[in-house]
Amino acid sequence: MKRVKARWALALAMLAAARSAGAAFPVGTTTRTLVTTSVSGTPRTLDTIVWYPAVPRTGTPEALGLRDAKVRRGRFPLVVFMHGTCGRPDEATYLTKALASQGFVVAAPPHPGLTAADLPGCLAFGATIDAALNVLPDVRLVIDSLLQEANDPSSPFAKRLRPDALGIAGLSFGGYATMVAALGEPRLRTALVLVPGGTALLPAGDISIPTMVIGSERDQVVGFAESQKAYQRLAGPRFLVELLGGDHLSVVDDCTIACVPGDISQADAHRLVLHYALPFERRYLARRPVESRRLTRAIPGVTVEAEPTR
């Protein structure tokens, strides 16, 4: 019996070590259609993409992951991902899939009226205002819906989520939305903000939860100054990463319109984003051991400003 217990203890220790070292799980994907009412009173449908740690050799392989694969056993943190103006919920799969492979569930809703499918209407000021007004209700709907599934024995996500580990992430307009949610939804524990805009329009108050802002040196859409302003709104543990040679769309999967000759490659930008974003979420959301220097030390291609225990 002692040998059996020792073997189990060794196996658990090896699993914990593998997770802390970044061992990857297969990535499953599914879609949840959430129906609600806009703040303006009109019907609002959120076709939300969900990525999650999956059981190997289950589901149907596709570009987004293993479609409807079995959810791996365990309790996982939940991150809500918010896309940018005229973007898509799956515009940064290098990030959302990487998070899922590291033991996070990621749910990405659209901003109806502000997606690529809404061109050219998504460029209108009114579409941005409508999306901004619906940020908090949309985030709460996604969180509430998935937590409800976690308590539903018939759901694939039954007993698979940690209600005490909820995070928010987003880029461009989604970066602004991330900060709005961090200010207004008290259940959130971390915020990951990429190339944000509209910081002057944020509600009053400072963000007290651990937050990482990642901006781009050559951002021609909102400018790196917006990331610096966002950093100044952070009252808790905070990090500011600048992608040297990066442009506004360096943080999405494909850069076809905003990137110019001389920008760093998408592959390099993604590698740098993941180098900081993954250990940030592991430390502050999943509460796994991560050395502070992983988040505070600048590697080639970035500058870093950080106060990890502020």
Q: Return the pLDDT at 261.
A: 75
Q: Are 243 and 269 in contact (CB under 8 A)?
A: yes
> What Rg do the C-alpha atoms of the chain give, in angstroms?
19
Q: Is residue 3 part of a domain?
A: no
Q: Is residue 21 part of a domain?
A: no
Helix (H, G, I), strand (E, B) or coil at 135: helix
Identify the CATH number of the domain in which residue 121 sits: 3.40.50.1820
Q: Return the pLDDT at 256.
A: 74
Q: Is residue 93 part of a domain?
A: yes
Strand partners, 155: none
Q: Is residue 4 part of a domain?
A: no
Q: How many domains does one find in the chain?
A: 1
Domain residues for 274? 26-307
Q: Return the pLDDT at 23.
A: 64
- φ/ψ of 306, rounded to 5, equals -150, 145
pLDDT digits (tens, 9 = 90+) for 131-168: 999 999 999 999 999 999 999 999 999 999 999 999 99
Q: Return the pLDDT at 21.
A: 41
Report the C-alpha gap between 184 and 221 in whole angstroms: 26
Q: Is residue 178 part of a domain?
A: yes
Q: Is residue 183 part of a domain?
A: yes
Q: Are 304 and 279 in contact (CB under 8 A)?
A: no
Whole-structure pTM over 0.75, yes or no? yes
Q: Is residue 14 part of a domain?
A: no
Report the C-alpha gap between 259 and 246 in whole angstroms: 8
Report the C-alpha gap between 43 and 34 in whole angstroms: 11
Tell me the average confidence (pLDDT) per consecutive run of 10 residues in the chain, 310 residues long: 40 38 83 96 96 98 98 98 97 98 98 95 94 97 98 98 98 98 98 96 95 96 97 97 96 81 91 98 96 95 94
Q: Are 145 and 187 in contact (CB under 8 A)?
A: no
Q: Which of 190, 187, 155, 215 is nearest to 308 (CA)?
A: 190
Q: Are 237 and 310 in contact (CB under 8 A)?
A: yes
Q: Is residue 6 part of a domain?
A: no
